[in-house]
């Protein structure tokens, strides 16, 4: 069977496809339904935005839809960009625009943890990825929701070329690796998205 994931983000699609394949499920996304208009994400929280996206897609398609709203909270920036992570460098910003803006802002305030990695890159600030998932069933109007996080540190240089978004700048001190250096399997085992998905599946089994 196929699960509709209410996203246009190819990085998210790949991670959900990898995780759900093990459960014998395929994934379709909003990239397969260009006729569905862009969904305004005007919620104040990740959870609110996930509900907005899941409901819009589920109502438009008449089948259950899973949405993911996620982002990066950077301690030295008081938790920004948070729910604005996708449009941090402006409407239509690319991942590389957003990463460049993050380094610019952190450098602008002189953020540093005063530590270096063996390769000479500097640790700038503690940070956290957050993922809110909402599964909406248009037949009942009900939501099942879950959240996950992963803690890390923003570095002044990229490490790895896996993942997407802010991954190249997100270092995992607990693993001594960048999150973009992990395989999909490894990332899914520790990531905000992986944790949220595990929690959602537990709720669905109850």
What is the contact surface with ligand ITT in residues (CB under 6 A)?
7-9, 12, 41, 68-72, 85-86, 95, 98, 129, 163-167, 191, 193
Shortest Å, Cβ 173 to ligand ITT: 17
Specify whether 69 is catalytic. Answer: yes
161's enclosing H/E stretch is none
Please tell me whether residue 83 binds Na ion under the rule CB under 5 A.
Answer: no
- Binding at 95: pick from ligand ITT, Na ion, none (beta carbon under 5-8 Å per type): ligand ITT
- Binding at 68: pick from ligand ITT, Na ion, none (beta carbon under 5-8 Å per type): ligand ITT
Taking CA 59 as the corner, what is the angle to CA 5 and CA 131, rounded to the nearest 5 degrees? Answer: 35
38, 69, 156, 161: the active-site residue: 69
Give the integer Cα–Cα distance in Å for 105 and 57: 35
Give the integer Cα–Cα distance in Å for 24 and 128: 30
Question: Which are the contacts of 142, defined by CB distance < 8 A and separation ≥ 6?
Answer: 136
Question: Which are the contacts of 52, defined by CB distance < 8 A and separation ≥ 6?
Answer: 39, 40, 41, 42, 43, 67
Instruction: Indicate which residues carry an active-site annotation.
Output: 69
- Residues of this chain that interact with Na ion (CB under 5 A) are 86
Annotated binding-site positions: 7-12, 69-70, 164-167, 187, 192-193
């Amino acid at each position: 069977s196929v699960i509709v994931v209410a996203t246009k983000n190819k990085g998210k699609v790949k991670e959900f496809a990898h995780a759900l394949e093990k459960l014998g499920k395929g994934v379709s996304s909003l990239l397969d339904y260009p006729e569905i208009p862009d969904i305004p994400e005007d919620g104040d929280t990740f959870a609110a935005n996930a509900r907005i996206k899941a409901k819009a897609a589920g109502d438009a398609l008449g089948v259950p839809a899973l949405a993911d709203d996620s982002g990066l909270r950077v301690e030295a920036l008081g938790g920004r960009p948070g729910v604005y992570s996708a449009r941090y460098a402006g409407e239509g910003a690319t991942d590389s625009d957003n990463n460049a803006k993050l380094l610019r802002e952190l450098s602008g305030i002189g953020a540093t943890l005063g530590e270096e990695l063996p390769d000479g890159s500097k640790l700038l600030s503690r940070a956290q990825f957050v993922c809110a998932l909402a599964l909406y069933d248009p037949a009942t109007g009900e939501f099942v929701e879950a959240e996950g996080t992963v803690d890390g540190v923003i570095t002044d240089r990229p490490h790895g070329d896996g993942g997407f978004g802010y991954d190249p700048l997100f270092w995992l001190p607990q693993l001594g690796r960048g999150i973009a250096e992990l395989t999909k399997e490894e990332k899914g085992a520790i990531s905000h998205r992986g944790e949220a998905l595990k929690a959602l599946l537990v709720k669905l089994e109850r």
